[in-house]
């Protein structure tokens, strides 16, 4: 069985999005990529399979062109979105797509999530962006692939770093999130839903869409992710006796 270790990571990621309530029924999917072989290979959830009954052997392995390399089940219907994002964002190693309630509400409203507080700033370096709606031609030509294309277009146009902004809202659809690993992608999808819920409630309380001052959000982001980050513990290799 190809990529046994990655299969286990991706299986756990899929089970986690269900356990955390981010994907009702079988709406969501998670994938991971191995870039160490002769050619990159993606492991992804099979389409429509219940999370609880899934096994590592059920997962599908495909190349970056979407060709099935190993697996007897049909891959997630979102495979072409995942492979395009892996091609365009080589820094990422895992992708999660959910239909979580509050993030999906913002996506359906086609509104970016403003950075209203430090919880948001700890994870996203700026607002959570929203894509342009797909055109009729894009839907007819290749809906799933062009879903990835409008995500990339938004990031390129705004000069956004996919590591600094680890998620997006697809207008009229739902969120995608990613990370360096499948586990990190799940964490970012979970945080995205949380800050979407906080933002919705804050807006009900009349919060300004301009959000917190930029110097506060920048401080919070950098203290967790910057070169002089103070959040968390030093890695063992960097610690001194």
Position 85 in a domain: yes
Work out the average pLDDT over 57-64: 97
Q: Are 128 and 165 in contact (CB under 8 A)?
A: yes
The residues near 8 (Cβ < 8 Å, ≥ 6 apart) are: 56
Q: How many CB atoms lie within 10 A of CB 228?
A: 6
Position 238 in a domain: no
pLDDT in tens, 94-147: 999 999 999 999 999 999 999 999 999 999 999 999 999 999 999 999 999 999
pLDDT in tens, 140-187: 999 999 999 999 999 999 999 999 999 999 999 999 999 999 999 999
Position 241 in a domain: no
Q: Are 229 and 238 in contact (CB under 8 A)?
A: no
DSSP, residue by residue, the chain? -TTHHHHHHHHHHHHHHHHTTSSSTT--EEEEEE-SSSS-EEEEPBTT--TTT--GGGSEEEETT--EEE-SSPBPTTHHHHHHHHHH-TT--EEEE---HHHHHHHHTT--B---SHHHHTT-SSPBPBPPPPPHHHHHHHHHHHHHHHHHHHHHHHT--TTTS-EEE-TTS-EEEEESSHHHHHHHHHHHHHHHHHHHHHHHTT--TT-S-HHHHHHHHHHHHSTT--SS---GGG---
User: What residues make up the domain containing 57?
Assistant: 4-230
Position 59 in a domain: yes
pLDDT in tens, 186-202: 999 999 999 999 999 99
Please indicate whether residue 51 is annotated as part of the active site. no
pLDDT at site 224: 76
pLDDT at site 235: 64
For residue 240, pLDDT over 70 is answered with no
Do β-strands 94-97 and 29-34 pair in parallel, antiparallel, or remain unpaired? antiparallel
pLDDT at site 220: 77
Number of folded domains in the chain?
1
Q: What percent of the chain has pLDDT over 70?
A: 96
pLDDT at site 234: 66
| Whole-angstrom Cα Rg for the chain | 18
CATH number at residue 44: 3.40.225.10
Work out the average pLDDT over 4-26: 94
Position 195 in a domain: yes
Tokens at 224, concatenated: 């967790």
The edge-to-edge listing of strands for the beta sheet with 29-34 is 68-70, 60-63, 41-44, 29-34, 94-97, 175-179, 167-169
Position 240 in a domain: no
Catalytic residue among 122, 161, 206, 215: 122
Position 182 in a domain: yes
For residue 231, pLDDT over 80 is answered with no
For residue 239, pLDDT over 50 is answered with no
Q: Are 169 and 98 in contact (CB under 8 A)?
A: no
Mean pLDDT is lowest, of 26-30, 38-42, 168-172, for 26-30
Position 133 in a domain: yes
Please indicate whether residue 122 is annotated as part of the active site. yes
């Amino acid at each position: 069985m190809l990529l046994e270790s990655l299969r286990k990571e991706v299986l756990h990621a899929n089970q986690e999005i269900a356990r955390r309530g981010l994907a009702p029924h079988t709406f969501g999917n998670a994938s991971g990529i191995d870039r160490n072989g002769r050619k990159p290979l993606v492991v992804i959830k099979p389409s429509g399979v219940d999370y609880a009954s899934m096994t590592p052997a059920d997962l599908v392995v495909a190349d970056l062109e979407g060709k099935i390399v190993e697996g007897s089940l049909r891959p997630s219907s979102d495979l072409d979105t995942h492979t395009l994002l892996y091609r365009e964002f080589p820094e990422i190693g895992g992708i999660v797509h959910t239909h979580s309630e509050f993030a999906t509400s913002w996506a359906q409203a086609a509104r970016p999530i403003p950075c209203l507080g430090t919880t948001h700033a700890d994870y996203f370096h700026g607002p959570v962006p929203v894509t342009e709606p797909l055109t009729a031609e894009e839907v007819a030509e290749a809906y799933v692939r062009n879903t990835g294309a409008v995500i990339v277009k938004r990031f390129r146009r705004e000069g956004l770093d996919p590591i600094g902004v680890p998620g997006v809202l697809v207008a009229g659809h739902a969120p995608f999130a990613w990370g360096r690993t499948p586990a990190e992608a799940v964490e970012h999808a979970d945080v995205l839903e949380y800050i979407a819920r906080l933002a919705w409630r804050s807006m009900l309380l009349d919060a300004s869409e301009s959000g917190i001052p930029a110097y506060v959000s920048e401080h919070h982001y950098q203290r967790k992710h910057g070169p002089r980050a103070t959040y968390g513990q030093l890695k063992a290799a960097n610690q001194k006796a």
